[in-house]
Chain A
Amino acid sequence: MSVATQAPGAQLPGDDKAQRSNWLVDLFVEYRSIGVLLVLVIVVVLTSIDNYRFVSVTSLQQLVSGAAIIALLGIGETLVMVTGNYDLTVGSVLGLSAYAVGDIFQHNQHFPIPLVFLIALGIGLACGIVNGAVVTMARVPSVVVTLGMLYVIRGIDAVWAGGNEVGAASLPGRFVEIGYGTIADVPYLALIAVVAVGIAALAVRTYRTPREFYATGSNPVAAELAGVPVRKRVFTAFVISGAIAGVAGALWLSYFATVDSTAGSGYEFLTLAAIVVGGVSVFGGSGSIIGAALGVLLVNTMDSALVVVKVSSSWDEAFQGALLLAAIVFNRFVTVRRTRELRTRNMSHVK
């Protein structure tokens, strides 16, 4: 679909016409992020006019910490969506790994913290591997498969947790500090998310494998013919997404400091909505990590802004659903226009 400029090696070397259009499209992608940033600033300014405490340090810290966890999930989800798939399990994987970590600490408060993160990673990896395997084996859209997996994982969580809730008292102080600690007023969680987003954005630009994610999503048949191991790449994307969601589960617990079997429910939808707002295409093949992260920040800010301007929380769900749909329609509109523009521009050289 859309413009092939996202795929590596789409233009011949020395073909400067293609080079120029590539640069222009890149600029447009940049503009998208600038647009999201602009809306973000407007929301923050308007909300803080209504209530100046919205821009207080504590409020902003809460805002970015909450966004940081979704942003982490957003990285994995972006990679999966770029390959033309959806991962609906991120929320339930986060929940399972968060409860697992809570359960470990409940039994042994002195359990080494790095090991806990490794276990969280392991749980995420395991879920990701199962997801990836089933998605690549079954010839149905990943939405159906991951919908099933969502409830299986949530069910495992429910069986494990029962009605049990792990409270802050069972968690070691040093672990909880990861959630609320700050360096120069910047929460650790925000730093972790920024570093992760930075690494992912760089990797996506630099390395072959993530470039092949884009090729896969753009046109799976063409990618296969060009020698991209499409199934392997889809599998990898799901494994990465699962792994990130696993680690995010441990971080989630360190931030909220209490966990039961419902942890992270609905996060799959939040993540999806946020990264689509950030410009990730629902058709696959296009979307930037940084854009996705900005989308997460914007959606999270909007959610908090709604609370501040005292819109009843019963509007949240309708708002989020409408936001996702609006973002999909908007992206579609932009793509259609961009395609038309590119076509007319290319045609103008023919004369």
Chain B
Amino acid sequence: MSSDVQTATGGTSQPDMPLDPGGGGLRARLGPLMRWESGLVVLLLATVLMGSQLSSMFLESGNFFYIGINVGEFAIMALPLMLIVVTGEIDLSVTSQLELSGVVMGYLFAHGWPIAAAMVVAVCLGAVTGAFNGFLVTRLGLPSMIVTIGTLTLYEGIAQVILPNTAVGGFPAGLTKIGLVPIPHTEIPYSIGFFIIFAVITAVVLHKTPLGRSIYAIGTNREAAFFSGVHVKRIKMGLFITSGILSAFCGVLWSLRFASARYDMATGLELNVVVIVFFAGTAFSGGKGSVIGVVLAAAIFAGVQNALTLDLVPAQNQNIVIGSLLIASVLIPSVADVYRRTGQRLQDLARRRL
């Protein structure tokens, strides 16, 4: 499995497959099948099976729209976040940027702006908030873990100052229908349509351009990347800005979809984005992460959420499941590693005995 078998969708994303060189014959042959993404495919099938067991409505064609519509924005935001995590940083402020952008769009619209102009300003604002994150992280050298917790509160706070305790609605019906109807002649919700476009762009950039290689290089070895001429800070800055822009774009989608904007409309939902990113097999160390992983993880997430909703589990209680998914996805690689190392040690021991 070498890097030139890559496809545009990122089916085989890793520049260097983590095949252990000393591994035995069976493991080497199974190697490509043992990938995280293969696990996700199995899980996706399991989710579909579970969903159809829990509710007869799960597999109805009309339900596909509802499965998709609740995950679209999270999936879109997960794409840049995945890249940020690959470079060893994190952006927890995505949902706050979503809220701020939605609120600004609503505020401007309520003050007589044409909706198109309000949408453009809202999305541009995302570039500003993202750049501020990037500035704090790359120029001041602060840890993104805590900086984006700060901006998570700050951006939501600013949104609250702009629109305290009220929701703005009344957006043109032609636009708010994206929350009610799929793209004509399909079952695909608009947000998923956008996700597909962004996913393809991300996959091409990540797997087919020098920029994509650089992102993995930063994740694998930051120092080495820097000394081979990769603009580490500039790339990270760009990723934070991208994350801001896409989050703001999702803010526009979100507000139109719900036909209203409120400062706390996505409070606590950063968890969903983070879950998709880590469930996709993205890792801080070693520059691991692929677009196909994000697509699969988003599909599983959507399926689980929809099944739980059809099973009438309240949203707050679903957080136990979703949070556990996150914990599981960060634990499994470690457990697998311990297992592999123990196996190796036992093999070595056996060989020495012989």
List, in ascending order, chain A residues with CB within 8 A of B330's CB: 134, 138-140, 144-145, 148
Known: A138-B331, A140-B283, A141-B90. Is A147-B142 also a contact (CB below 8 A)? no
Tell whether A41 is near chain B: CB-to-CB under 8 Å.
Answer: no
* Partner-contacting stretch, out of A153-161, A173-181, A221-229: A153-161
Tell whether B209 is near chain A: CB-to-CB under 8 Å.
Answer: no
Known: A137-B331, A151-B323, A321-B155. Is A272-B164 also a contact (CB below 8 A)? no
A158 to B323, CA, bound (A): 14
Which residues of A115-159 are within 8 A (CB) of B? 134, 137-141, 143-145, 147-152, 154-156, 158-159
A275 to B161, CA, bound (A): 25
Interface centre among B143, B151, B278 (most CB of A within 10 A): B143
Tell whether A324 is near chain B: CB-to-CB under 8 Å.
Answer: yes
Mark B141-153 against chain A: 1 for CB-CB distance below 8 A, else 0: 1110111011111
Tell whether B110 is near chain A: CB-to-CB under 8 Å.
Answer: no
Tell whether B140 is near chain A: CB-to-CB under 8 Å.
Answer: yes
Q: Whose C-beta in chain B lies nearest to the C-beta of A137? A: B334
- Interface range for B: 35 or more
Chain A interface main SS type: helix
Tell whether A282 is near chain B: CB-to-CB under 8 Å.
Answer: yes
A321 to B157, CA, bound (A): 7
Q: Whose C-beta in chain A lies nearest to the C-beta of B154? A: A321
Least CB distance from B127 to A in Å reads 19
Judge whether A139 and B164 touch: CB under 8 Å.
no
Which residues of B289-328 are within 8 A (CB) of A? 314, 316-324, 326-327
Chain B interface main SS type: helix
Judge whether A329 and B165 touch: CB under 8 Å.
no
List, in ascending order, chain B residues with CB within 8 A of A315's CB: 157, 160-161
Judge whether A143 and B92 touch: CB under 8 Å.
yes
Judge whether B160 and A317 touch: CB under 8 Å.
yes
Least CB distance from A236 to B in Å reads 20
Tell whether B136 is near chain A: CB-to-CB under 8 Å.
Answer: yes
Q: Whose C-beta in chain A lies nearest to the C-beta of B143? A: A282
Judge whether B326 and A147 touch: CB under 8 Å.
yes
Tell whether A320 is near chain B: CB-to-CB under 8 Å.
Answer: yes
Least CB distance from A331 to B in Å reads 9
Least CB distance from A263 to B in Å reads 14
* Count of chain A residues near B, Cβ 8 A: 44
The contact of A325 among B136, B268, B274, by CB within 8 Å, is B136
Judge whether A156 and B320 touch: CB under 8 Å.
yes
Q: Whose C-beta in chain A lies nearest to the C-beta of B330? A: A138
A256 to B277, CA, bound (A): 38
A315 to B154, CA, bound (A): 10
Which residues of B251-287 are within 8 A (CB) of A? 268, 270-271, 274-275, 278, 283-285
Tell whether A316 is near chain B: CB-to-CB under 8 Å.
Answer: yes
A315 to B153, CA, bound (A): 11
A333 to B158, CA, bound (A): 25
Judge whether B317 and A155 touch: CB under 8 Å.
yes
Least CB distance from B307 to A in Å reads 17
The contact of B334 among A88, A139, A159, by CB within 8 Å, is A139
Interface centre among B145, B153, B321 (most CB of A within 10 A): B153
Q: Whose C-beta in chain B lies nearest to the C-beta of A154? A: B319
Tell whether B333 is near chain A: CB-to-CB under 8 Å.
Answer: yes
The contact of A321 among B153, B268, B274, B275, by CB within 8 Å, is B153
Known: A134-B331, A328-B146. Is A317-B156 also a contact (CB below 8 A)? yes
Judge whether B90 and A148 touch: CB under 8 Å.
no
Which residues of A314-340 are within 8 A (CB) of B? 314-322, 324-325, 328-329, 332
Known: A137-B334, A141-B284, A158-B316. Is A148-B146 also a contact (CB below 8 A)? no
Tell whether A213 is near chain B: CB-to-CB under 8 Å.
Answer: no
Mark A266-292 against chain B: 1 for CB-CB distance below 8 A, else 0: 000100110010000011000000000
Judge whether B271 and A317 touch: CB under 8 Å.
no
Least CB distance from A145 to B in Å reads 6
Judge whether A318 and B158 touch: CB under 8 Å.
yes
Judge whether A324 and B150 touch: CB under 8 Å.
yes
List, in ascending order, chain B residues with CB within 8 A of A282's CB: 142-143, 146
List, in ascending order, chain A residues with CB within 8 A of B275's CB: 148
Known: A140-B283, A151-B268, A152-B320. Is A319-B157 also a contact (CB below 8 A)? yes
Tell whether A86 is near chain B: CB-to-CB under 8 Å.
Answer: yes
Least CB distance from B234 to A in Å reads 21
Judge whether B319 and A152 touch: CB under 8 Å.
yes
Judge whether A332 and B141 touch: CB under 8 Å.
yes
Judge whether B153 and A147 touch: CB under 8 Å.
no
Which residues of B313-354 are within 8 A (CB) of A? 314, 316-324, 326-327, 330-331, 333-335
A134 to B90, CA, bound (A): 19
A319 to B249, CA, bound (A): 26
Q: Whose C-beta in chain B lies nearest to the C-beta of A270? A: B153
List, in ascending order, chain A residues with CB within 8 A of B165's CB: 314
Judge whether A149 and B327 touch: CB under 8 Å.
yes
A156 to B154, CA, bound (A): 28
A134 to B335, CA, bound (A): 11
Least CB distance from B222 to A in Å reads 15
Least CB distance from A189 to B in Å reads 26
Q: Whose C-beta in chain B lies nearest to the C-beta of A318? A: B157
Interface centre among B150, B160, B314 (most CB of A within 10 A): B150
List, in ascending order, chain B residues with CB within 8 A of A56's CB: none
Judge whether A314 and B285 touch: CB under 8 Å.
no
Judge whether B154 and A322 touch: CB under 8 Å.
yes
Q: Whose C-beta in chain B lies nearest to the C-beta of A158? A: B316
Judge whether B320 and A159 touch: CB under 8 Å.
yes
Tell whether A58 is near chain B: CB-to-CB under 8 Å.
Answer: no
20 contacts between A and B (CB under 8 A): A148-B324, A148-B330, A149-B327, A152-B324, A154-B316, A155-B316, A155-B317, A269-B153, A272-B146, A282-B146, A314-B160, A315-B157, A315-B160, A317-B154, A317-B156, A321-B155, A324-B146, A324-B153, A328-B142, A329-B140
